[in-house]
Structure 1
């Protein structure tokens, strides 16, 4: 099997004032928080968004593992909809000392390239900064961070930089080349 060079970039935002808001794509796009954790819905979003861009780390999780991940205090899933149809999502993962990681962010393939991603990322970052307002006892957010890699969508990095994220770490490794599972794993 062949190998590829995988580059992973870590980016951060140190203040809510650093956020550069994207334009709202239109009234047919809404973004809502999924307030009831649903492993089935989250797995659908994960597989549908990440199937063609090598998201595989969560595909083997059991339902119980999904429940555990989603049920941690402060974990939030925000979903973009176009006229009622899920278009993409952002998952927030609170960490220690007021740090919030954007664990997953992306759009289903049919919704990419339509200016939905910038809007969804804007609202996801705002939700990360305001996380403590929805979770009593959670300390105020002091930093929002994420990582992306050379296998993610071709516009991901540009979107993060346009929203005001700053690069703080770059890692490169050789990795075995594997096919993407596609949005229909096992089908």
Structure 2
């Protein structure tokens, strides 16, 4: 069985395209840091924890060596949002040879969605895409930041990118094999008010 999937390709062609974002609510302790040591275990955790309920399946069969090779490539970066020390989501960047930087993956763990962390993480990741060449001496200066999202992604994905200043430059529709989503860890979802408060 197949399903019809719409894919939107979006881009920014100037750092000035990035729309500012309001920070997290007062008192919400959120920080964003780069995972500078390539760690297949940590990256696979983020990939499965964020993408389990939005049909991220293309890397599920990657062996350890492939994860290690990919994460160790110059110009590949993973930036992680933490709330009070707990991983809340990530954004993965990959530099191209032509001055383009792709946002390969971006998202939040289910418990952290809807809390204004996503916009903050996305804006931070876009800024890091624009200055990526400063951290990688052999990378070309960034001329374009791009990504694609599709109708299988979360319901707010495309709107979130548009709010941050991306523009759609290509839309495609194709039939794809229907692949069962691995789903989130059973019971994963919004934190209860007691758990969020540390009770």
TM-score band w.r.t. shorter chain: over 0.9
Separation of aligned partners in 1, 2:12 and 2:161:
10
Q: 2:80 touches 2:87 (CA, 8 Å); kept in 1?
A: yes
Matches within 5 A, 1:26-175: 26=25, 27-175=28-176
Provide the residue aligned with 2:2 in structure 1.
3
Separation of aligned partners in 1, 2:175 and 2:36:
39
Q: 2:11 touches 2:145 (CA, 8 Å); kept in 1?
A: yes
What is the aligned-residue RMSD (CA, Å)? Answer: 1.2
Q: 1:51 touches 1:183 (CA, 8 Å); kept in 2?
A: yes
Higher mean Cα deviation, 21-30 or 52-61? 21-30
Provide the residue aligned with 1:24 in structure 2.
23
Separation of aligned partners in 2, 1:9 and 1:179:
22
Segments of structure 2 that go 5 or more residues without pairing to the other structure are 187-199
Secondary structure in 2 aligned to 1:159? helix
Separation of aligned partners in 2, 1:141 and 1:176:
35
Provide the residue aligned with 1:182 in structure 2.
183
Number of aligned residue pairs: 184
Secondary structure in 2 aligned to 1:97? coil
Report the TM-score, using the length of structure 2 for normalisation. 0.90
Aligned-pair CA distance for 1:21: 1.7
Separation of aligned partners in 2, 1:48 and 1:131:
26
Q: 2:92 touches 2:104 (CA, 8 Å); kept in 1?
A: yes
Q: 1:70 touches 1:76 (CA, 8 Å); kept in 2?
A: yes
Separation of aligned partners in 2, 1:75 and 1:178:
28
Report the TM-score, using the length of structure 1 for normalisation. 0.95
